[in-house]
């Protein structure tokens, strides 16, 4: 309580000092002049505040939220031999946010000895899924392709593909991403449709993604869904989380870092959180300084 | 007829798909499965159509040395190079050691990540230049933004680590996201869903036929 009061007192003191200073013409003139600040200084500040924490980590503490815990627990409840569908619906633009949570998800699934059927509804995504499978499932956990995991690759059709998978996954994906008929993959012999998977782990950057999976398949096929998504799309999925249609949610790099903390790994997301913290502070500072400059200019009668 | 046939097809298929959602009987689900597969095939053709359109549109600009024509050359050369390399490398084109993977990681992934990363620079610049607190609503927005931005990153944990439970920055951020934000978002979702339903019904019933008008009159 004391620290909160100190924090609020500092805020109030700063506000009072600023309100007083802005009445001094020379200070107001200096602040007003900031409106003409070359934006390249801001770009330089962003660059420095990203690079320095990446090179010299601050190791700020990451605290998992309830949403991330639910995500972790849903995978933790699976039993060895269960089959999950891992839909990696994103492309490299969202890679820095989503690849860490994709890799950690595969790692947790492999630790639980769960078998994974992977697919992708974004054309630019299959190599990212394959790289994650190769690095984590094949090289680290020695998963065997075709028996422990399968990569079905990309299929165009968006919501139609989701619905068709509800009817028949081998019918929708007759061959895997290499062109091997799924009838030759032992794991696919145990997969009929969406009702035969225990969980859908969706890593999503937008459309088609989590929203469409929930709308098209959740109630229709009684599918359990957890989602890892970009920070910008997470607010849209809170409604599905509250209604129970989503059972866990990782939002952006922060969500991925929380998940890494629970999984006991220090991955790219955890390393990136220091940089994100410092840039958030810079953005806040920019909002405050920009408005101070604006108020000072108004006080001086400038437009 | 150019107008009537598409409207009839749309109406019949839309009605079957609507029933298919609720009725599992093979009499309905059979055609439903067929239309699902048909959509996937038609959309796959659209990719070919898109590539052909890209080729003709940019090819024409290159031929007449139009605006930014060198960039169009780069676009088409890149497209054909990726297609050719993928075809030459065959079914293992996604393996980590292939040229396709190298080009994907070196060019495609790097350029897309660069474009996305530039947002951070422009957000900071826009925060300084454009986020003006001119009235109460803008003030509330700014305060909410400050709490959410601090509460979603570890620095928020550090600042409020010793605050009373319930009003720590991550908890305030969560409250904002789960209550005011979620209420507004849910209202938007419901409004959009109602709009989609009404437009869908208008299309199925043939009231909304603007999509079929470009074919001319019978």
Arithmetic mean of pLDDT over chain B: 88
In chain A, at which residue ranges do the beta strands (DSSP E only) sit?
Answer: 83-89, 115-120, 149-154, 199-204, 225-229, 249-251
Stretch 3-32 of chain A: residues touching chain B, C-beta under 8 Å: 3-4, 7
The 10 Å CB-count burial string (b at 16+, else e) for B62-72 is beeeeeeeeeb
> What is this model's ipTM?
0.84
What's the number of CA atoms in the CB half-sphere (13 Å) around residue B31?
Answer: 13
SS3 content of chain B, % helix, strand, coil (to 5): 80, 0, 20
pLDDT tens profile A28-86: 888 888 888 899 999 999 999 999 999 999 888 898 999 999 999 999 999 999 999 99
To test the contact with chain A by mutation, choose from B125, B165, B196 the residue with the greatest count of A C-beta atoms within 10 A, namely B125
Q: Cα angle at A278 between A277 and A279, to 5 degrees?
A: 95
| pLDDT value at residue B217 | 47
Q: Which residues contact A116 (CB under 8 A, 6 or more apart)?
A: A83, A84, A86, A106, A109, A110, A133, A137, A143, A148, A149, A150
Q: Is B162 on the interface with A (CB under 8 A)?
A: yes
pLDDT tens profile A155-210: 988 898 999 999 899 999 999 988 899 999 999 999 999 999 999 999 999 999 99
pLDDT band, residue A132 (cuts 50/70/90):
very high
What mean pLDDT do residues B67-87 have?
Answer: 93
Residue A112 dihedral angles phi and psi, to the nearest 5°: -85, 0
How close, in Å, is residue A186 to chain B by CA atoms? 19
CA-based nearest residue in chain A for residue B189? A236
Percent pLDDT > 90 in chain B is 41
pLDDT tens profile B196-212: 999 989 988 888 767 66
What dihedral do alpha carbons A75, A187, A179, A218 form, nearest 10°? -40
Query: If residue B36 lies in a helix (H) or strand (E), which one and from where to where?
Result: helix B26-63
pLDDT tens profile B5-19: 888 888 899 999 889
Higher pLDDT, A34 or A263: A263
CA A280/CA B148 separation, integer angstroms = 10
| pLDDT value at residue A1 | 61
**Across the interface, do A95 and B112 touch by the CB < 8 Å criterion?**
yes
Residue A231 dihedral angles phi and psi, to the nearest 5°: -60, -35
Is the bond preceding residue A216 a cis peptide, omega within 30 degrees?
A: no
Above 70 in pLDDT, residue B218? no
| pLDDT value at residue B180 | 92
CA A181/CA B170 separation, integer angstroms = 49
pLDDT tens profile A188-202: 999 999 999 999 999
| pLDDT value at residue A301 | 80
pLDDT band, residue B57 (cuts 50/70/90):
very high
CA-based nearest residue in chain B for residue A164? B36
Q: Cα angle at A222 between A220 and A223, to 5 degrees?
A: 105
| pLDDT value at residue A298 | 86
| pLDDT value at residue A32 | 86
């Amino acid at each position: 309580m004391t620290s909160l009061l100190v924090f609020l007192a500092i805020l109030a003191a700063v506000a009072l000092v600023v309100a007083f200073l802005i009445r001094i013409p020379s200070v107001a003139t200096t602040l007003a002049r900031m409106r003409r600040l070359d934006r390249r200084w801001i770009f330089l500040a962003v660059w420095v505040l990203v690079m320095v924490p990446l090179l010299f980590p601050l190791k700020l503490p990451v605290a998992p939220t309830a949403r991330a815990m639910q995500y972790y627990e849903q995978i933790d409840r699976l039993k060895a031999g269960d089959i999950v569908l891992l839909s990696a619906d994103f492309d490299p633009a969202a890679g820095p946010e989503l690849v860490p949570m994709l890799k950690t998800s595969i790692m947790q699934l492999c630790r639980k000895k769960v078998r994974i059927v992977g697919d992708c509804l974004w054309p630019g995504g299959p190599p990212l899924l394959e790289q994650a499978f190769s690095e984590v499932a094949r090289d680290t956990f020695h998963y065997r392709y075709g028996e422990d995991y399968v990569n079905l690759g990309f299929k165009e059709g968006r919501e139609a593909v989701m619905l068709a998978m509800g009817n028949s996954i081998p019918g929708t994906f007759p061959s895997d991403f290499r062109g091997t008929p799924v009838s030759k993959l032992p794991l696919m012999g145990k997969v009929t449709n969406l009702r035969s998977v225990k969980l859908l782990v969706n890593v999503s950057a937008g459309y088609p993604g989590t929203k469409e999976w929930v709308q098209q398949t959740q109630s229709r096929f009684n599918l359990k869904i957890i989602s890892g998504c970009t920070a910008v799309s997470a607010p849209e999925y809170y409604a599905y989380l509250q209604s129970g249609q989503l059972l866990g949610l990782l939002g952006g790099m922060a969500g991925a870092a929380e998940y890494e903390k629970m999984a006991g790994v220090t991955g790219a997301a955890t390393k990136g959180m220091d940089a994100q913290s410092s840039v958030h502070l810079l953005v806040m500072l920019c909002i405050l300084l920009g408005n101070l400059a604006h108020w000072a200019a108004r006080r001086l009668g400038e437009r | 007829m150019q107008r009537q046939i598409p409207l009839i097809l749309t109406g019949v298929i839309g009605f079957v798909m609507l029933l298919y959602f609720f009725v599992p009987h093979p009499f309905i689900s059979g055609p439903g499965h067929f239309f699902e597969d048909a959509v996937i095939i038609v959309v796959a053709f659209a990719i070919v159509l898109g590539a052909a359109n890209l080729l003709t549109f940019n090819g024409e600009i290159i031929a007449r040395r139009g605006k930014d024509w060198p960039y169009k050359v780069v676009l088409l050369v890149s497209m054909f190079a990726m297609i050719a390399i993928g075809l030459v490398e065959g079914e293992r084109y996604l393996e980590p050691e292939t040229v396709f993977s190298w080009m994907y990681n070196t060019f495609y992934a790097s350029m897309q990540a660069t474009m996305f990363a530039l947002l951070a620079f422009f957000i900071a610049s826009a925060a300084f230049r454009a986020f003006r607190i001119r009235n109460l609503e803008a003030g509330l927005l700014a305060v909410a933004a400050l709490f959410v931005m601090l509460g979603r990153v570890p620095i928020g944990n550090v600042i409020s680590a010793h605050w009373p439970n319930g009003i720590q920055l991550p908890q305030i951020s969560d409250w904002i996201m789960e209550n005011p934000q979620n209420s507004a978002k849910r209202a938007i979702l419901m409004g959009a869903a109602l709009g989609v339903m009404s437009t869908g019904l208008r299309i199925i019933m043939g009231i909304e036929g603007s999509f079929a008008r470009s074919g001319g009159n019978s």
